[in-house]
Structure 1
């Protein structure tokens, strides 16, 4: 049985990209996906949701790295997001995600009062590249679409990086330079591949790049997400474990079953 009781400072992945982060008295959900298995546009979901959205209880913030792809925001996930009291996302996604959605450009931030009475949680939007660094850019300058990651921080809290769908180690290096301490990282991995896009090259971190990102960030806690539950994810948990072992980083990888809470301190 999955326990969704509020935690003091922990995160769990529910499958696909969807993570729950309890931090500073706030419950934060990233890239919510709650549809049943089956076709979803040109993608195919392989797994039913681990929990129903209603089981999450009161949610304070939803983070949406981008809303254009159903493996990051499916039908039930969108309905869940539209009911959230606060949604942080990209400038282009915000108009589609309701009156409580705030669009953030990379390196802009939004602050939220903490229910624990210890000031504010700052959510910093950081860049992400949703495909190969050298891929042809769309008219708006993005690979596939506009995507952001997020860095969560506050007094007395660990600094937590949520990557969103990013395939670029150069981008991770830029984040590491500008945010010199990352205590925990939720990395979207899985080497997502769609054959008609960029020659089938990965649209998210493959396992070796996920290990490289962990090394660049020097994060003592790495929780992988976005590596199972969809047919176009080409690398799974075993690939991640091997890549981190070969990189000498097994000690930082929290390779746990979905629904298992990981302490972020």
Structure 2
């Protein structure tokens, strides 16, 4: 498997020849985006690759469509060129007008879709939605639906790639970490906070992500969505501090992705 960090949550995954794109964001830095209910963020980093440099995409995995730091204008515009688009059930309803129904799959946690190989010699993939909670208890009505993704080769129990999506720690997330046999874990971190919501957090901090790695015990853990936007409070330094202070069983699993460079894991 090769992973290329593009910026924010956006990661290009090459899995056995399949080209998967996580949460497409390709707008340039400098713009402020409103997320609703008085929250918002400014994009502070450019993508490491442009859409034109990306190449063909077999599957776009959109954890949620309604926050621009996970699907911005340029990312939304490239979705029709992807072979398949997987997102939340509610998000599929919003994206449906611009995408062919046969290529759009809306999932709730626990649901799966089986994708036949787009080219000869590639395995069939089974992709399942995993639970997320994008904020404190009782905020789902405000922050909306979010999912993660567990990607398996058909016929294998082991999860080749688990993408947490934007989430805080909660019981269903930790149950998922305990139940899945994970090869590569891609965790979204950053410790998102907003001035209007005070101390409330909307994604994992570095410390919380390290704790999740300890529970899931993947072969390799990599991280995304901790920089490039103004709403990250814990950010890269919080993640580095947490990894540096982690016990060896967790510290040795962690790998840093290099912007714009395919890293084999």
Asked if Structure 1 and Structure 2 have the same fold, meaning a TM-score greater than 0.5 normalized by the shorter chain, the answer is: yes
Report the alpha carbon displacement of residue 144 of structure 1 after superposing the two structures with TM.
1.1
> Where does the alignment leave 5 or more consecutive residues of structure 1 unmatched?
1-8
1:6 is matched with none
Higher helix share: 2
Change (3 A) 1:168 1:24: same
Distance 2:146 2:87 in 1: 8
**Does the aligned pair in 1 maintain the 2:57–2:81 contact within 8 Å?**
no
Report the alpha carbon displacement of residue 12 of structure 1 after superposing the two structures with TM.
2.0
Report the alpha carbon displacement of residue 245 of structure 1 after superposing the two structures with TM.
2.0
Distance 2:167 2:263 in 1: 22
Q: Deviations over 1:193-241 (max 9, x none)?
A: 12224x3422111010010011111012111000000000112223212
**Does the aligned pair in 1 maintain the 2:18–2:122 contact within 8 Å?**
no
2:258 is matched with 257
Deviant stretches of 4+, over 4 Å: 155-158
1:4 is matched with none
Distance 1:237 1:160 in 2: 22
SS in structure 1 opposite 2:209?
helix
Distance 1:240 1:192 in 2: 13
> Where does the alignment leave 5 or more consecutive residues of structure 2 unmatched?
35-39
Change (3 A) 1:177 1:227: same
SS in structure 2 opposite 1:21?
strand
1:192 aligns with 2:192: yes
2:37 is matched with none
**Does the aligned pair in 2 maintain the 1:169–1:212 contact within 8 Å?**
no
Q: Which deviates further from its counterpart, 208-217 or 148-157? A: 148-157
1:66 is matched with 64
What is the RMSD of the two structures over their aligned residues, measured on CA atoms?
Answer: 1.8
Report the alpha carbon displacement of residue 118 of structure 1 after superposing the two structures with TM.
5.1
Report the alpha carbon displacement of residue 112 of structure 1 after superposing the two structures with TM.
1.2
Distance 2:16 2:258 in 1: 24
2:240 is matched with 241
**Does the aligned pair in 2 maintain the 1:33–1:77 contact within 8 Å?**
yes
Report the alpha carbon displacement of residue 169 of structure 1 after superposing the two structures with TM.
4.2
**So what's the TM-score if we normalise by structure 2?**
0.88
1:20 aligns with 2:21: no
**Does the aligned pair in 2 maintain the 1:65–1:147 contact within 8 Å?**
yes
Distance 1:103 1:137 in 2: 18
Q: What is the total number of aligned residue pairs between the two structures?
A: 249
Change (3 A) 1:94 1:153: same
Distance 1:262 1:184 in 2: 13
Distance 1:220 1:110 in 2: 25
Distance 1:136 1:240 in 2: 25
Report the alpha carbon displacement of residue 77 of structure 1 after superposing the two structures with TM.
0.6
1:129 is matched with 133
Report the alpha carbon displacement of residue 71 of structure 1 after superposing the two structures with TM.
0.5
Report the alpha carbon displacement of residue 158 of structure 1 after superposing the two structures with TM.
5.8
**So what's the TM-score if we normalise by structure 1?**
0.88
Distance 2:188 2:253 in 1: 15
Change (3 A) 1:20 1:148: same
Report the alpha carbon displacement of residue 256 of structure 1 after superposing the two structures with TM.
3.4
